[in-house]
């Protein structure tokens, strides 16, 4: 295991150390005193690479990442898992805006709240199905233009009268599925979104994912599953077909 004290280390140097070490066979990293260094894990390959991060990593962590596991033992900032292809990110705190933008594979688990524009244009293809689970609440534009994968919002510990998600929920959604723990007001949703109960297939998928999430973040599975979930799905796979196709 390689331990790196990141205090005062410029992001470029930090990331070069990690990339070079991975290239020469290092599998496990423990980063301490991280604060604000951008692009950690970006484009990194290797499903057996694991990086523990202590401190708040900077923006665009795990962008284009293709295999490794990142464990953030604090809060994370904006743009985590941008266009991530494979691997796993677990954040033991809250995270910022624009998480999982165009994410196409792998998993992103956040323990606390997430910001605005989370899960925009997540997509799936063939065996690729990205999964994002947010333990707290999310801001506006959650799952906007969603094209594939699974988005789960749990709203754990949220205050009364705090909506679990903001407005424009799933606007432009045309693929994938969302499971939201609690009530969703149709007013919040985009016109392209359908709301329904979960079927047996949904319940099976959800159950497996929540088990994994609880295992990683120390939540009680039964407690989380004791509340009702709703399913959000796209009414059409081509909501704007009539607008742009002749």
Interaction site with another protein (CB under 8 A):
11, 35-36, 38, 55-59, 75, 77-78, 94, 96-97, 113, 115-116, 139-141, 166-167, 187
Give min distance, CB of 117 to another protein, in A: 8
Give min distance, CB of 108 to another protein, in A: 18
Give min distance, CB of 28 to another protein, in A: 24
Q: Which is nearer to another protein, 59 or 83 (CB)?
A: 59
Q: Which is nearer to another protein, 138 or 178 (CB)?
A: 138
Q: Region of 62 please: left (phi>0), alpha (psi -120 to 50) or beta.
A: left
Q: Which is nearer to another protein, 193 or 224 (CB)?
A: 193
Q: Which is nearer to another protein, 39 or 179 (CB)?
A: 39
As a whole number of angstroms, the distance between CA 39 and CA 85 comes to 15
Give min distance, CB of 142 to another protein, in A: 13
Give min distance, CB of 77 to another protein, in A: 6
Q: Which is nearer to another protein, 187 or 244 (CB)?
A: 187
């Amino acid at each position: 295991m390689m331990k790196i004290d990141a205090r005062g280390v410029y992001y470029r140097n930090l990331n070069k150390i990690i990339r070079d070490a991975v290239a020469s066979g290092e599998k496990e990293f423990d980063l301490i005193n991280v604060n604000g260094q951008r692009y950690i894990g970006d484009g990194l390959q290797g499903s057996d690479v694991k990086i523990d991060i202590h401190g708040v990593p900077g923006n665009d962590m795990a962008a284009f990442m293709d295999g490794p596991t990142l464990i953030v033992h604090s809060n994370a900032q904006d743009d985590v898992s941008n266009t991530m292809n494979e691997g796993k990110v677990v954040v033991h705190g809250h995270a910022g805006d624009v998480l999982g933008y165009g994410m196409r594979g792998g998993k992103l688990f956040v323990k606390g709240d997430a910001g605005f524009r989370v899960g925009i244009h997540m997509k799936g293809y063939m065996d690729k199905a990205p999964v994002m689970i947010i333990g707290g609440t999310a801001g506006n534009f959650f799952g906007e233009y969603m094209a594939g994968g699974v988005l789960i919002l749990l709203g754990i510990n949220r205050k009364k009268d705090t909506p679990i998600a903001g407005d424009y929920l799933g606007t432009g959604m045309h693929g994938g599925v969302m499971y939201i723990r609690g009530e969703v007001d149709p007013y919040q949703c985009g016109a392209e979104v359908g709301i329904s109960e979960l079927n047996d297939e949904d319940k099976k998928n959800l159950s497996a994912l929540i088990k994994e999430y609880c295992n990683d973040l120390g939540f009680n599975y039964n407690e989380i599953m004791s509340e009702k979930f709703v399913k959000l799905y796209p009414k059409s796979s081509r909501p704007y077909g009539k607008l742009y196709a002749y």
